[in-house]
Amino acid sequence: MEDNTQDENNLEFNSRIDLSKLQESVVRVKAELGKVIIGQQDMIELLIVSILANGHSLIEGVPGVAKTVTAKLLAKTMNVDFSRIQFTPDLMPSDILGTSIFNVKTSEFEFKKGPIFSNIILIDEINRAPAKTQAALFEAMAERQITIDGNEFEMQPPFLVFATQNPIEQEGTYRLPEAQLDRFLFKINVHYPTLEEEIQILENKHQQKTTNIEALIDSVLSAEQIAAYQNVIKDIIVEDNLLKYIAAIVNNTRTNANLYLGASPRASIAILEASKAVAAINGRDFITPDDIKKVVGPILCHRIILTPEREMEGLTAEKMVQDLIQTIEIPR
């Protein structure tokens, strides 16, 4: 009996990659946000995963559920440049990217950089601006560079876009083009807090003496640390059967009779990168099917389009993705 116990103790898992600093940083970031944000753990977790996986996030929810505040405070926990852009119907692409201004002294045009030239960009209400303004972000988000007047400008890493939007049904919104949506790693749906969380929100607000909540948050991550953690994640081990599992899930979206549009290879790569980040946060140097299942929903839901018949029947993208995962055999 004693021998069996000894064997079980020897089965303790030792990671081949040192993930302790990364885990410690994630805990500290969550602790900082916890000073202000009550609940919304799923949103915070996915935003941290997107930072580690070097991907952009789209946060959707009704007004007042702390979408903008969470993204803003998360940026504050990182010691990097931050800029916020409020999208409006009359916003022009040059208001985001920058514009060439004629300098009278030198008699030459000088390029004045816009707010996109930063590390963390918070785009508030991205679907309030028309398609031409949204399209100005395409190159910056996908290739992390901007071409203006024939000149290329590289974006300084880390370059991450957090965009918030109200649901499409709201008045005065423009639907994001599919090409734009595809450039977001995650679409995170934010729901109302529970009754207990709402009570806690009110208690915290009642006891809060300062109106400047940003002053409560300390910076715990530097640009160098973020870059180092993003590199560590590249070393996470992925078994061949799990690569096939990811490919099978994405391929199913293209052949499924209930879907008008399936996911692209960009979605497969996104699932792979995000799964690695989830594994690292949990202190593992390898991914499991559970890591994949955790990120599939936020990655695929905004990339697939249901057929009109299924949509009329009340089927949602979230339900479709859940059903799709159930049909694919989990590798053992």
User: Mean pLDDT lowest for which of 10-24, 132-146, 147-161, 306-320?
Assistant: 10-24
The predicted model scores a pTM of 0.88
Number of separate domains in the chain = 2
Is residue 45 in some structural domain?
A: yes
**Are 197 and 291 contained in the same domain?**
no
Q: How are the residues of the chain apportioned to helix, strand and coil, as percentages rounded to the nearest 5?
A: 50, 15, 35
> Could you give phi then psi for residue 222, rounded to 5 degrees?
-105, 165
Is residue 1 in some structural domain?
A: no
**Are 21 and 128 contained in the same domain?**
yes
Are the CB atoms for 301 and 276 separated by under 8 Å?
Answer: no
Average per-residue pLDDT in the chain? Answer: 86
H/E stretch holding 187: strand 184-189
Are the CB atoms for 29 and 221 separated by under 8 Å?
Answer: yes
Confidence grade of residue 21 (pLDDT, cut at 50, 70, 90):
confident
- The rounded distance, in Å, linking the Cα atoms of 24 and 40 is 20
Are the CB atoms for 187 and 6 separated by under 8 Å?
Answer: no
Is residue 285 in some structural domain?
A: yes
- The rounded distance, in Å, linking the Cα atoms of 322 and 332 is 20
**Are 181 and 319 contained in the same domain?**
no
Averaged pLDDT, 214-221: 82
Is residue 2 in some structural domain?
A: no
pLDDT: which is higher, 299 or 180:
299
Sequence letter at residue 168: I
**Are 269 and 178 contained in the same domain?**
no
Confidence grade of residue 281 (pLDDT, cut at 50, 70, 90):
very high
pLDDT at 100 over 60: yes
Alpha helical stretches, state H, 222-316: 223-233, 240-255, 265-281, 289-300, 308-312
Averaged pLDDT, 6-33: 73
Q: What is the pLDDT of residue 274?
A: 94
Q: Which among 177, 83, 86 has a CA at the least distance from the CA of 134?
A: 177
pLDDT in tens, 42-83: 889 999 999 999 999 999 988 888 888 888 888 889 888 889
**Are 34 and 52 contained in the same domain?**
yes
Q: What is the pLDDT of residue 6?
A: 44
Is residue 55 in some structural domain?
A: yes
Q: Tell me the residue range of the domain where 266 lies.
A: 236-327
**Are 142 and 96 contained in the same domain?**
yes
User: Mean pLDDT lowest for which of 13-22, 31-40, 120-129, 171-180?
Assistant: 13-22
Percent of the chain having pLDDT more than 90?
Answer: 27
Q: What is the pLDDT of residue 170?
A: 66
- Bridge-based pairing state of the strands 56-60 and 160-165: parallel
Q: What is the pLDDT of residue 8?
A: 45
Is residue 214 in some structural domain?
A: no
Q: How far apart are the first and last CA of the chain?
A: 30
Instruction: Quote the tokens at residue 66.
Output: 């702390």
85 contact partners, CB below 8 Å, separation of at least 6: 91, 95, 96, 115, 116, 121, 122, 123, 124
Nearest 5 degrees, angle CA 61-CA 62-CA 68? Answer: 65
Query: For residue 293, what is the domain's CATH number?
Result: 1.10.8.80
**Are 249 and 229 contained in the same domain?**
no
**Are 297 and 246 contained in the same domain?**
yes
pLDDT at 9 over 50: no
**Are 117 and 253 contained in the same domain?**
no
- Bridge-based pairing state of the strands 184-189 and 221-222: unpaired
- The rounded distance, in Å, linking the Cα atoms of 315 and 332 is 31
Instruction: Quote the tokens at residue 166.
Output: 């109200």
**Are 165 and 279 contained in the same domain?**
no
Most confident region among 138-142, 190-194, 245-249 by mean pLDDT: 245-249
Is residue 22 in some structural domain?
A: yes
Query: For residue 65, what is the domain's CATH number?
Result: 3.40.50.300
Kindly state the DSSP code that residue 185 receives in the 8-state scheme.
Answer: E
Is residue 7 in some structural domain?
A: no
**Are 198 and 277 contained in the same domain?**
no
Cα Rg of the chain (Å, integer):
22
**Are 263 and 225 contained in the same domain?**
no
